[in-house]
Amino acid sequence: MGFVKGLKCRECKREFPKDPIHVCEFCFGPLEVNYDYEGIGKVLSRKSIENGPPSMWRYKELLPIDEDPIVGLNVGWTPLIKVKNLAKALGVNNLYVKNDAVNHPTLSFKDRVVCVAVSKAKEFGYDTVGCASTGNLANSVAAHAAEAGLKSYILIPADLERGKILGTLIYGTNLVGVHGNYDDVNRLCSEIGAKYHWAFVNINIRPYYGDGSKSFGYEIAEQLGWRTPDNVVVPVAGSSLITKIYKAFNEFKDLGLIDKVTSKIFAAQATGCSPVTTAIKNGTDIIKPVKPNTIAKSIAIGNPADGYYGVKTVAESGGWGEDVTDEEIIDGMTLLARTEGIFAETAGGVTVAVTKKLIEQGRIKPDELTVISITGNGLKTREAVENSIGEAGIIDPTLQAFDDHLASKKL
């Protein structure tokens, strides 16, 4: 089984065997998985997908592993929620949240990429996996390595949130905090990967890893009743997810599973780390690397690996890019929580606040169908909101104390 023909250079289109490689040796372009779409078209239909498991593996023909998945069998198929209260607060009528804050098992969209990458690492015969991470990837690689019985080495910037560190160490991995930002960590991991021959999920097996993100897009289209939304707002770090959502929609169209792709794709970043949205606003596809400085640490990548393709995706789809301050991010997190009961992490605050901005700018129209991508869980980034949400009122265990408390609230 499996419909992977090999890898293919995104730039010069040269073909390569399905090996743990990620860069074209001729032009240095990134490699992509090359699928046998004709073969897939013969077996895949709306019906076959609908009869599949309630997980991202319902699209397994479009995912790059040859055998059955080894880990992460329950990842994906997260709720797509019509958010009427948030819509009202933002002055629109047709708003949805795709909620990967509750993705199994580590509560972020990264489980989608990691279950593919770790299954693939097993297929390749590696005994050790690793990653350079801004936090959520660390959680997910540690968890899936544990499930797969593989050793793992995980490198992060030393100053990550406590929740992200604890949510990695619990799985019994080897965690290394590096003095530096994500881009320093990533460069170091390339050197380590070359020396130790480990599978770094977002480096040497990146082509396979990236395609796990497509499932986020497939699910949106299927959950909307086999159609694409008018707008999708996506948080951007390395720009993998944003390009893969659009790729997913276009694959569905090419396979005849949906009629057309109607979506504008909008990039969302924090102002303290906005190389991609800055390029979009400046009308260029040349990304100028930045030094990150924002509370949205999970998407703080100053030199995004796929930034160029992120800008291209946005331009091709007719979308736009916006960024928001740390203050706006906190407002976005509390607004989503207080209107819809959904506690998203800082990256979710970014997408909510950017959506608000795009609506105010008239780039998103009130009657259009808009999906906000929520990609991580708020309990992992509590530092961000700790000082903005008030405190519990503390009382003695008596009715009188409670009555006094109530009266003080009413003053």
Ligand X SMILES: *Cc1c(COP(=O)(O)O)cnc(C)c1O
Q: Which residues make up the interface to ligand X (CB under 6 A)?
A: 108, 110, 136, 235-242, 298-299, 345, 347, 375-376
Q: Please, which residue, 24 or 81, has the CB nearer to Zn ion?
A: 24
CB of 351 to ligand X, least distance (A): 8
The binding track of 11-30 with respect to Zn ion, each residue x by CB under 5 A or -, is: xx-----------x-xx-x-
Q: Please, which residue, 118 or 299, has the CB nearer to ligand X?
A: 299
Q: Are 168 and 106 in contact (CB under 8 A)?
A: no
Q: Please, which residue, 3 or 218, has the CB nearer to ligand X?
A: 218
CB of 409 to ligand X, least distance (A): 35
The identity of residue 90, as a single letter, is L
CB of 141 to ligand X, least distance (A): 12
CB of 22 to Zn ion, least distance (A): 12
Q: Please, which residue, 8 or 206, has the CB nearer to ligand X?
A: 206
Q: 385: which DSSP letter? A: T
Q: C-alpha angle 346/348/349, rounded to 5°? A: 65
Closest CA to 300 of 400, 161, 170: 161
Residue 108 partner contact from ligand X, Zn ion, none using kind-dependent CB cut-offs of 5 to 8 Å:
ligand X
CB of 112 to ligand X, least distance (A): 10
CB of 299 to ligand X, least distance (A): 5
Residue spans of alpha helices (H) in 224-372: 240-254, 275-281, 307-317, 326-340, 346-360
The identity of residue 128, as a single letter, is T
Residue 27 partner contact from Zn ion, ligand X, none using kind-dependent CB cut-offs of 5 to 8 Å:
Zn ion
Residue 351 partner contact from ligand X, Zn ion, none using kind-dependent CB cut-offs of 5 to 8 Å:
none
Alpha carbon separation from 10 to 106, 207, 210, 236 (Å, rounded): 31, 11, 13, 20
Backbone conformation region of residue 294, classed left if phi is above 0, alpha if psi is from -120 to 50, else beta: beta
Buried b / exposed e along 150-170 (16+ C-beta atoms within 10 A): bebbbbbbeebbebbbebbee
Q: Please, which residue, 110 or 214, has the CB nearer to ligand X?
A: 110
Q: Please, which residue, 61 or 111, has the CB nearer to ligand X?
A: 111
Question: Can you read off the two tokens belonging to residue 233?
Answer: 């707002």
By CB under 5 A, name the one of 4, 7, 9, 270 that touches Zn ion: 9
Cβ neighbors of 353 (< 8 A, separation 6 or more) are: 324, 328, 329, 331, 332
Q: Please, which residue, 25 or 50, has the CB nearer to Zn ion?
A: 25
Residue 347 partner contact from Zn ion, ligand X, none using kind-dependent CB cut-offs of 5 to 8 Å:
ligand X
Q: Are 329 and 271 in contact (CB under 8 A)?
A: no
Which residues would be at the binding site for Zn ion (CB under 5 A)? Answer: 9, 11-12, 24, 26-27, 29
